[in-house]
Amino acid sequence: MQSASHFRGPAPWGRGTTGARPYVTYRLLVVWVWVLLAVGLVGCQPQGRDLPTVEPSKTPRPTFTPPATTSEPTLAPTITPKPQAAASATAPQPTATVTAAGATPLSQVTATVQPSRTPVPPTPTQRPPTATPAPAAKPLRMKSPEYGMQVFPWWRPEVASRDFQLVRQAGFTWAKVGFGWRDIEVKKGVFDWSRTDLIVQMAGEQGLDLVVRVDHQPAWAGGGFPLNGPPDNLQDLADFLTALVSRYKGRIRAYEVWNEPNLAREWGGQVPDPGNYAKLLRVAYRAIKQADPNAMVISAGLSPTGTWNEEARPDDWYLESLYIAMGKKSDGYFDVLGVHGAGFKSPPERDPAEVAANKDLGGQRAFCFRHVEDLRAIMVKYGDGNKQIALLEFGWTSDPRPDSPYHWFAVSEEVKADYLVRAYQYAKTHWSPWIGLMSLIYICDPDWTESHEQYWWAITYPSWPEFKPRPAYLALQAMPK
């Protein structure tokens, strides 16, 4: 096709035959149409720049969702009330293996439960939610004595923080707390660490050593639940202790294995059995030491009693039977012997022989503070003279209720204060170097009322937010340490 620039004027339409005119006209029209189209297209072309090259849009990659982990959630503390039901669990994860004598290896544990209603995303590790580093390991040998108080920090962290500070402000360096197994391992391999994380953190912030009493098996472990009792399978206890001690390695100094097993109510309603307690203690010792070799293992404090029936066994008989069950040596069972030493009706200096000879004072050697010396004599008899004793509960009650079984040996609040100070002084003078921790009872649980027998043993009142000390707390605070 010729371009329009080749035409120099009107075409010679008149020349040629008459039949050719319409055809020429038609050709001219077609040419002019093409010219106009070409000009229009050139005029529409943008000047001075090239047209951009447009890349096709890409589909964005989805946000990466990591697979579900087996680590425990970072748990927000539950203040109040007590939980009514356990939450669902995450998947289990393997832990270190501890094998009890004659038992199968540990099953895989470390899944966790989030007890709060608002889900919290899991953290990538199993470390407790605190930046506080573990302190340097302390020796198993304690100063003689060391000073402790029992506190109840479980359900109310706001009160717990205050109470740990009270222990420290009194010049004491240990706090005894209870870790109920049933409140932590809600079902096999599923743990709620929310409260234990907070308790360990609070104690650490005050520079306190913790002695943790481990007992109160969960329903799934049997053992006469709801009574406190030994689990049907001791390997379940080993599994639990492996998880617990591994989590708080270097941050919990001592573990007390069970409580007062010479009483049926603390042994699943069964007749107290020192032979079976020896088996439980050995399994627990192995699990604790494999998870944290520097942790101190303390045997259960025994209830001071001379009663022999289906409900109780005398503590001195029980201890000697325990030594026999252990093969007459405690290595591999405990590092420190746990005892209890209530003063009952007597001042701390009174000789047990005098108490045994006087029915008004109880008529048994067990009914006085110095009965601890009888238990010490059994240790020495079986070659444990180099090991120390931890006095895990001691004190005096001021219970004024006439119908209370504790009323017969009640003292006034002022006498309680005097006796507690004198007990520490007596032990420091007469029991050194074999006495270690002396942990008195109690900083008051905030939920106790006058109807609770424990209320009358306490050295504080159950007040919040104000602090109401009894004379004993103030006397102990002023006592030279």
Q: According to the 3-state scheme, what is the secondary structure of 24-60?
A: HHHHHHHHHHHHHHHHHHHHHCCCCCCCCCCCCCCCC
**pLDDT tens by residue, 259-281:** 999 999 999 999 999 999 999 99
Q: Judge whether 386 and 334 are in contact, CB under 8 Å.
A: no
pLDDT at residue number 135 = 74
Which residue carries 């005050």 as its tokens?
Answer: 206
Q: Judge whether 229 and 217 are in contact, CB under 8 Å.
A: yes
Confidence of residue 132 (pLDDT cuts 50, 70, 90): low
Q: Is residue 36 part of a domain?
A: no
pLDDT surpassing 90 at residue 80:
no
pLDDT at residue number 206 = 98
pLDDT surpassing 50 at residue 48:
no
Q: Is 15 exposed, middle or buried (0-12, 13-18, 19+ CB in 10 A)?
A: exposed
pLDDT surpassing 60 at residue 218:
yes
Range of the domain at 218: 146-478
pLDDT at residue number 154 = 93
Mean per-residue pLDDT, 425-447: 97
Which of 39-53, 108-122, 134-148, 407-421 is predicted most confidently?
A: 407-421
**pTM across the whole model:** 0.74
**pLDDT tens by residue, 359-412:** 999 999 999 999 999 999 999 999 999 999 999 999 999 999 999 999 999 999
Q: Is residue 50 part of a domain?
A: no
**pLDDT tens by residue, 311-364:** 999 999 999 999 999 999 999 999 999 999 999 999 999 999 999 999 999 999
Q: Is residue 95 part of a domain?
A: no
pLDDT surpassing 90 at residue 63:
no
| 71, 287, 298 from 213: Cα distances, Å | 25, 15, 9
Q: Is residue 88 part of a domain?
A: no
What distance in Å separates the CA atoms of residue 11 and residue 107, rounded to the nearest whole number? 106
Q: Is residue 376 part of a domain?
A: yes
pLDDT at residue number 216 = 98
pLDDT at residue number 15 = 32
Task: Give the residue among 376, 247, 259, 400 at the shortest CA–CA distance from 316.
Answer: 376
Number of domains making up the chain: 1
Least confidently predicted of 24-28, 76-80, 217-221, 242-246:
76-80
CA angle, 444 as apex, 296 and 414 as ends, to 5°?
Answer: 105
Tokens of 439: 């942990």
We report the CATH number of the domain holding residue 193 as 3.20.20.80
Q: Mean of the per-residue pLDDT values for the chain?
A: 80
Confidence of residue 136 (pLDDT cuts 50, 70, 90): confident
Confidence of residue 118 (pLDDT cuts 50, 70, 90): very low
Q: Is residue 21 part of a domain?
A: no
| 31, 131, 193 from 113: Cα distances, Å | 86, 22, 8
Confidence of residue 133 (pLDDT cuts 50, 70, 90): low
Q: Is residue 372 part of a domain?
A: yes
Q: Is residue 24 part of a domain?
A: no
What distance in Å separates the CA atoms of residue 31 and residue 389, rounded to the nearest whole number? 119
Mean per-residue pLDDT, 404-425: 98
